[in-house]
A and B are shown apart, each in its own frame.
Chain A
Amino acid sequence: MSVAQDPFSLSGKRVLVTGASSGIGRQIAITCSQVGAELVISGRNPERLQETKAALQGEDHLAITADLSQQEGIDQLVAVADTLHGVVHAAGISKLVPFRLINKQHLTDIFDSNTFAPMLLTRDLLVKKRIAQNGSILFISALASHSGAVATGAYAASKSALLGAMRSLAIETAKQGIRANCIAPGYVRTPMLDGLAQGGANMDELIARTPLGIGEPEDIAHAAVFYLSDASRCLSRHYTFIDGGLSIPLDIYA
């Protein structure tokens, strides 16, 4: 099968990936480049972002350092974005805080990066007509949005909010053929997960409860390619869990 006929090919597509300086976003960018996409990658840490850029297959990729919790960061990215066929919002932060210790600062930090940044970036890209007809917008939520694990009050709320945003957005953009979907990973081996372990999460217990094992960034990247490619051209307003089977015993669609 030639590349042009491969329904999962991203050749000829320009894809923006946020959070590309680490973990899931990094791998999504690399995998997208391997199936032919031209990338615009973004993150806060310039060194790690350049490392990702160096790992991309092919030329002509663009790396933009920006803090998306600030409007200036969003502006910078939108200014150079040009026409995009895909957008992946993989930037995000997490921190375990028991509910009784939540304060306004914590809520603001979590929502700024996890909810407001992807919503406002999408808004600006749409207003500036940066997203091509038949483009695909992909949000990275989290299983926590449904499972609400201990001490994830703010994080789970910020990720559930994305689900609502995606559903409404998908209806509005459908007339332009622009699709909006969401991947909700369970636990994936990334620096974020290491941070959770440092922050007091019991990893052995999590691993024991995940029948197919903890996910790797590639597992999320492969699903992202599906959502970005024409293979999923009939799919919008869709939400999928990729969690190694962790949620099997949970009635999460209730």
Chain B
Amino acid sequence: MDNIDTFIEKFITAVDFQEAVEITPDTVLKDLPEWDSLAALGVIVLSDMEYGKTITGEHLKQVTTVNDLYQLLT
């Protein structure tokens, strides 16, 4: 299983940030300037392809921080 640092690396690739941002486990998804529907789709696909877990947009709405997301996916 990935540790949180590896997860954050994959998260950054999936979201495809144009402006470099620092992501920590406590980062709130909604506070990220580039958190939009394509970013959310990237995370849904990451979850499916890398962690074999099917999540939906509804699941994502219930998630606040990057660490919450890590807990959900791993």
Enumerate chain A interface residues (CB-CB to B < 8 A): 96-98, 100-101, 103, 105-106, 150-151, 198-202
* Given A98-B16, A100-B16, A101-B14, CB of A200 within 8 Å of CB of B46: no
B38 part of interface (Cβ distance < 8 Å) = yes
Q: How far is the CB of A193 from chain B (nearest CB, A)?
A: 14
Closest to B16 in A: A100
B69 part of interface (Cβ distance < 8 Å) = no
The interface centre, meaning the residue of B38, B41, B42, B56 with most chain A CB atoms within 10 A of its CB, is B41
- The complex places the Cα of A103 from the Cα of B57 at a distance, in Å, of 22
- The complex places the Cα of A198 from the Cα of B38 at a distance, in Å, of 14
The interface centre, meaning the residue of A100, A200, A201, A202 with most chain B CB atoms within 10 A of its CB, is A200
Asked whether, in the complex, the Cβ of B13 is within 8 Å of the Cβ of A151, the reply is no
Total contacting residues, chain B, CB less than 8 A: 14
Task: Enumerate the 7 nearest inter-chain pairs by beta-carbon distance, A residue then B residue, closest first.
Answer: A200-B41, A198-B56, A200-B44, A101-B45, A97-B45, A98-B42, A200-B57
Asked whether, in the complex, the Cβ of B13 is within 8 Å of the Cβ of A100, the reply is yes
Consensus secondary structure, chain A interface: loop
Query: Which B24-61 residues have a C-beta within 8 angstroms of A?
Result: 37-38, 40-42, 44-46, 49, 56-57
Consensus secondary structure, chain B interface: helix
Asked whether, in the complex, the Cβ of B56 is within 8 Å of the Cβ of A103, the reply is no
Residues of chain A within 8 A (CB-CB) of B13 are 100
Asked whether, in the complex, the Cβ of A150 is within 8 Å of the Cβ of B38, the reply is yes
Show 8 residue pairs from A and B whose CB-CB distance is below 8 angstroms, ordered by the A residue.
A100-B13, A100-B14, A100-B16, A101-B42, A101-B45, A103-B49, A151-B38, A199-B56
Closest to B56 in A: A198
Residues of chain A within 8 A (CB-CB) of B14 are 98, 100-101
